[in-house]
Amino acid sequence: MTTYLNRTLMAGGGHSPENGFAGIGTFVALCICLMAGSGRVAAAEADARPVVALSLNGSAAVTARKGWPFIFEVALMHPQAFASPTNTILIASTGNVWSASVRIEIRDAQGQLQSWPLHLRQTPASSLELDGHFIGRLQWLLSPAETVLLTGAKYELRAILDTTETSVTDAWKGIARSVPASLDLGEPVAESDAIEFENQQTLFARYAALIGDRDLALSNIDALLNRYPTNIGGLTYKAFLLANRGDRVAALAVCDQALQQVELQNPTAQEPPEVLLKLQHDLIDQLQEAAVAPPNDDFANRIALSGDLATTTGANTGASSEPGESNHAGLLSYQSVWWTWTAPTNGSVAISTEGSSFATVLAVYTGTSVASLTPVASDAYSDTNLTSLVNFPVTKGTTYQVAVDSFLGQFGQIKLSLVLQGPGLPVLRLSDLIQKPNGEFQFALTGPPNATFVVEASPDLLHWTPVKTDTMPRSGMITCTDTQLRSGANKFFRAKL
């Protein structure tokens, strides 16, 4: 299956929203139609009769409701499309484009021919040459406003190629019919079940994308994800929608979410879906090509941290590995960035990447050359949200080199924190208050890992009220937020073990 088909032909199917994809690709559905008519294909090889396949909303057997959009798709293929044909088949219509030779017949259960206002989505070229590689594709659309007017019933659908009237030299002349598809059209319902809701939202999203309304398509998928946040099909579709409108950073983040859900929901699967892996790799390549390397990409340009407490941010977008660089935490180096820190006293330090936006790999070394570093400590995405944490003893005056890399080439925002515990240093330390954009106030508390602490608040330094009791994480740093404090108010905080 080509990337184009994977990107544009996802359609409704039948997996649970909590467990799987929104449906099979239309191209797969068309291939199923062809397999169902394999006898016709074999017979066609002798007279080079084109093979015609039809699907509605991505399937050959459809259950739908009035008020849903309809997407009819017809594929014309060479009868030896999956082999190596020795000839090509020319499809042409006299004085018109080749699509004029294709029609869709719709009949009710009594065999009565129906007249539905199908809209051909594209105008193809004047002729079509079928060989072992090229497939002719046509799409017709019916809007929700049009399908709501149809009669709820069962229908048989068939695509017909009729070139008997063509006078174009060397063009194929004859009639070829698809295997029938079926439609069971029901009345609208007030509340859909889980599977139907997934199919509905994915179908509406695809229809919106086909008519050029990407915002509406995204809104439909967001409605699905609001109800089922871990739905793999919805996440996949959203990643493609974001990528197709050029929002590559957001697309990659959603693609990574989809891959994480694949792993969580299908732990025995040998590998993730190829379509997701290819999208991830394509997005990484595109972002890397467009990105400017961060200032601390190279070991020689590492950024200095100082003191017994340090918090900084950065990114590894556009970063690279260097010749001679170590395999951090035993994993291949992809996109590392560097910091350096000199211990102000003896003690034990915790360095964490908690708060970073991707699966991080963290490694600490001593040494002054990237090709001859001595490992001190390392960790690969074992902490909260696939971030990394190391704890190790340090010696006063020793300089430590800190590398943050990614798992399998992921990239994004980095948050790096350092907490030193040692002689002469307070056991508990409160940072300055920081006001967030939403008006809330936030501060960091550092202390011994795994210790239970209490944060108290007071308006006057006389009367104290406990506001938070918790256990210090392994990183030795925790963020506390006061949702009540606003600018202009007096409030003091203290912490104790």
Identical topology for domains 3-211 and 429-496: yes
- pLDDT surpasses 90 at 232: yes
The token pair that represents 360 in the structure block? 């991080």
Neighbour order of strands in the sheet with 465-471? 465-471, 452-458, 492-496
Quote the pLDDT of residue 446: 81
- Contact present, 57 and 11 (Cβ < 8 Å): yes
Residues 6+ apart with CB under 8 A from 387: 352, 353, 354, 355, 356, 359, 360, 381
- Contact present, 339 and 302 (Cβ < 8 Å): yes
3-211 topology per CATH: Immunoglobulin-like (2.60.40)
Quote the pLDDT of residue 488: 58
Quote the pLDDT of residue 74: 96
Quote the pLDDT of residue 28: 38
Percent of the chain with pLDDT over 70: 88
pLDDT band at 485 (very low <50, low <70, confident <90, very high): low
- pLDDT surpasses 50 at 272: yes
Q: Are strands 70-77 and 136-142 parallel, antiparallel or unpaired?
A: antiparallel
Q: How many Å apart are CA 79 and CA 52, to the nearest integer?
A: 9
* Segment 36-65 mean pLDDT: 72
Quote the pLDDT of residue 65: 96
- pLDDT surpasses 50 at 21: no
Residue ranges of the domains in the chain?
3-211, 299-421, 429-496
- pLDDT surpasses 90 at 231: yes
CATH of domain 429-496: 2.60.40
- Give the pLDDT confidence of 68-86 residue by residue, as tens digits: 999 999 999 998 877 776 7
- Contact present, 21 and 15 (Cβ < 8 Å): yes
Tokens 């080509």 found at: 2
pLDDT band at 433 (very low <50, low <70, confident <90, very high): confident
Quote the pLDDT of residue 449: 81
- Give the pLDDT confidence of 174-217 residue by residue, as tens digits: 999 999 999 999 999 988 899 999 999 999 999 999 998 989 99
More confident residue, 402 or 292: 402
- Contact present, 144 and 66 (Cβ < 8 Å): no
- Contact present, 413 and 419 (Cβ < 8 Å): no
Inter-helix orientation angle 214-227/194-210, to 10°: 170
Q: How many Å apart are CA 188 and CA 152, to the nearest integer?
A: 10
Residue of 481, 480, 455 lying closest to 469 (CA atoms): 455
The token pair that represents 199 in the structure block? 């199919």
pLDDT band at 291 (very low <50, low <70, confident <90, very high): confident
Residues 6+ apart with CB under 8 A from 260: none
What angle (nearest 5°) sits at the alpha carbon of residue 322, between those of residues 318 and 327?
Answer: 105
pLDDT band at 36 (very low <50, low <70, confident <90, very high): very low
- pLDDT surpasses 90 at 383: no
Q: How many Å apart are CA 38 and CA 275, to the nearest integer?
A: 27
- Contact present, 305 and 341 (Cβ < 8 Å): yes
**DSSP H or E stretch at residue 208:** helix 194-210
The token pair that represents 301 in the structure block? 């340009």
Quote the pLDDT of residue 47: 55
Residues 6+ apart with CB under 8 A from 140: 71, 72, 74, 104, 118, 119, 120, 121
- Give the pLDDT confidence of 104-124 residue by residue, as tens digits: 999 999 999 999 999 998 878
Other CB atoms within 10 A of residue 247 CB: 15
Please state which CATH class domain 299-421 belongs to.
mainly beta
Residue of 150, 154, 137, 192 lying closest to 61 (CA atoms): 154
- Give the pLDDT confidence of 318-346 residue by residue, as tens digits: 888 899 998 899 888 888 999 999 999 99
Sign of CA dihedral 406, 407, 409, 410: negative
What angle (nearest 5°) sits at the alpha carbon of residue 187, between those of residues 185 and 193?
Answer: 95
Other CB atoms within 10 A of residue 453 CB: 19
Q: How many Å apart are CA 134 and CA 137, to the nearest integer?
A: 10
Other CB atoms within 10 A of residue 342 CB: 14
